[in-house]
Amino acid sequence: MLYYRIPMQIIVARNYESLSQKAADFVVSAILLKPSLVLALPTGSTPLGMYKFLVELYNRKKVDFSQVKVFDLDEYCGLTPEHSQSYAFYLRHNFLSQVNLKKENIHLQDGLLDVSQASQYSKQFEETIEEVGGIDLAILGIGRNGHIGFNEPGSKVDSLTRVIDLDDKTIQDNSRFFENISEVPRKAVTMGIGTILNSQKILLLAAGKNKAEVINSSMEGPVTVRVPASILQRHPAVTIILDQDAASQLKRKE
Ligand code: F6R
C-alpha cells in the first residue's frame, strides 16, 4: 500500500554515454565530499559505462579510492570468483583491479557459501556493513521484473542479505551472458531490500527501451512487493539516471 511518495530526483540523459558519465560524476562528487565513502556496487550491462568513466577519472587523478569501501550487491550461488560470469570476476575486471581500492576495503559476496549456513553468512555480511558505518551510496540497476540487487518480486521490505531463488524472467534475461540457459545459476545471494533502504543515498541507473515499462511502474505506480524497485519511492534520497529510452514511459520527468 502507498502511504506517501517522496519526490525522487530523475535525470534523463541524452544517451547511454551521457548516463554513464553522469553516474560516474555523481559517484566522484560523493567521494570528494566523503573520501571514506561506503559504496554498494551493481553488475550487469547498465553500469559498465559508469565503471569505464570511473576508471578514466581515476587515471586522470580526479578521484582517489584509497579510503573508499565497497560491497557488491549480489552474486550467483555456485560460481567461483574466477568464473567469467561471476560478479566478483566482473567487478574485478571492470573496476576494482583498475583503481587504487585497498584489498581490505573490498567486500564481495561469496558465491560458494554453504547454503545450509546461509543465515550465519548473512548475519556476518550485514555486520560487516554495520562495522564500517553503513552504506553511504547504493548504486543499483533494475531488472525487467523490477528486481534491485537480486531481490525478486515478493521480496519483503525489511529483507536483509540472503540466498534467493532467481525468477524465471531473470534466468531468461541473464542467459545472454551464458552459452546455454541451463548454465544460469538458479540461486543467488543478495543484499536485501532492507539493506538497500538503510543506505544513506541510492543511485539507480536504467537504459534501453526494455526498461521503460518497469521504470514507469517502479517510479509512478503503486508501491508493491510485486515490483521491488517501487519501494524506492519511500526512500528520502534517491537519484535515478535514465537514458531517453528508459524514460520514455514516464509521465513526470524532473
Ligand atoms: C546485478 C544486479 C541486478 C541488475 C539488473 C539489471 O548486480 O544487481 O539487479 O542490475 O538485473 O541488469 P542489466 O544492467 O544487465 O540490465
> What are the pLDDT digits (tens) for 112-128?
999 889 999 999 999 99
Average of pLDDT values for 59-64? 98
Ligand 1 pocket member 45 (CB < 6 A): yes
| Confidence class for position 6, pLDDT limits 50, 70, 90 | confident
How many other C-beta atoms lie within 10 A of the C-beta of residue 91?
Answer: 22
- What's the mean pLDDT when you consider all of the chain? 96
pLDDT value, residue 190: 98
Residue 2 confidence (pLDDT): 47
- With contact defined as beta carbons under 8 Å apart, do 207 and 19 qualify? yes
Examine the pLDDT at 252 and tell me if it is beyond 80: no
pLDDT tens profile 161-204:
999 999 999 999 999 999 999 999 999 999 999 999 999 999 99
Alpha-carbon Rg for the chain, nearest whole angstrom, is 17
Mutate to test the pocket of ligand 1, among 147, 168, 203 (most ligand atoms within 8 A of CB): 147
Model's pTM, two decimal places?
0.97
Whole-angstrom Cα distance, residue 153 to residue 199? 20
* 127-141 tens-digit pLDDT: 999 999 999 999 999
Sequence-distant (≥ 6) Cβ neighbours of residue 237 within 8 angstroms = 200, 201, 202
Q: How many CB atoms neighbour CB 240 within 10 A?
A: 25
**Active-site amino acid positions:** 74, 145, 147, 152
Alpha carbon of 143 to ligand 1 centroid (Å): 6
Closest residue by Cα to atom 10, ligand 1, is 141
